[in-house]
A = this chain, B = another copy of it.
Amino acid sequence: MHDPTPATRRPLEGLRVIDLTRALAGPYATLLLAGLGAQVIKVEDPRGGDLARENSPYVGRDGVTVERGHSDDVSISHLSRARGKMGVSLNFKAPGARAIFQDLCRDADIVVENFTAGTADRLGVGYQAAREANPRIIYCSLSGFGADDAEGGKAMDVIIQALSGAMYTSGDPDAPPVRMGIPVADMLAPVFGVIGILSALEQRHRTGHGQHVDVSMLGALTSFVAIENWSALAAAGMPARTGLTVQRLSPFGVFECADGYVAIVAVHEKLARGLFQAMGAPELSDDPRFASRDARVANAPVLEAHITAWSRNLPTADVVRLLEAQGVPAAPVRHPEEALSDPRVMARAETMPIAHPSYPHRSELRTSGIPIRFSDAETGFDPTLPISVGEHNHQIYRELLGYDDARIAELRAAGVI
Contact = CB atoms under 8 A, between A and B. Distances in A.
A205 to B, nearest CB: 6
A385 interface: no
A194 to B, nearest CB: 5
Contacts of A363: 232, 235
Contacts of A193: 372
A181 B332 CA distance: 18
A325 interface: no
A322 interface: no
B146 A182 contact: no
B63 A162 contact: no
B181 A227 contact: no
Contact of A170 (B178, B196, B226, B345): B178
A65 B237 CA distance: 9
A343 to B, nearest CB: 11
A93 to B, nearest CB: 20
B57 A223 contact: no
Given A206-B7, A225-B339, A334-B162, A213 B183 contact: no
A224 to B, nearest CB: 6
Contact of A223 (B227, B233, B243, B369): B369
Interface stretch (A8-16, A299-307, A408-416): A8-16
A402 interface: no
Contacts of A23: none
Given A181-B169, A216-B348, A351-B222, A209 B334 contact: no
Query: Copy number of this protein in the oligomer?
Result: 2
B154 A11 contact: no
Contacts of A375: 127, 211-214
Contacts of A133: none
B232 A64 contact: yes
B163 A170 contact: no
B66 A237 contact: yes
Give the bracket for the number of chain A residues in contact with chain B: 35 or more
B229 A80 contact: yes
A331 interface: yes
A254 interface: yes
A350 B166 contact: no
A286 interface: no
Contacts of A240: 181, 335-337
A59 interface: yes
A77 B229 contact: yes
Contact of A230 (B11, B225, B340): B340
Given A198-B198, A236-B56, A244 B376 contact: no
A257 to B, nearest CB: 11
B146 A168 contact: no
Contacts of A334: 162-165, 168
Interface stretch (A41-49, A184-192, A390-398): A184-192
25 contacts: A7-B207, A12-B199, A56-B236, A57-B232, A145-B344, A153-B329, A159-B263, A159-B329, A162-B333, A163-B334, A165-B334, A176-B254, A177-B244, A177-B254, A188-B191, A198-B199, A211-B375, A211-B377, A216-B345, A223-B371, A225-B340, A227-B368, A230-B340, A231-B365, A231-B366
Closest 9 pairs between A and B when the two form their complex, measured CB to CB: A169-B181, A165-B336, A219-B350, A165-B339, A198-B198, A212-B375, A11-B199, A162-B263, A211-B376
Given A203-B377, A211-B377, A222-B340, 6 more contacts: A158-B252, A171-B178, A177-B244, A214-B375, A216-B371, A231-B340
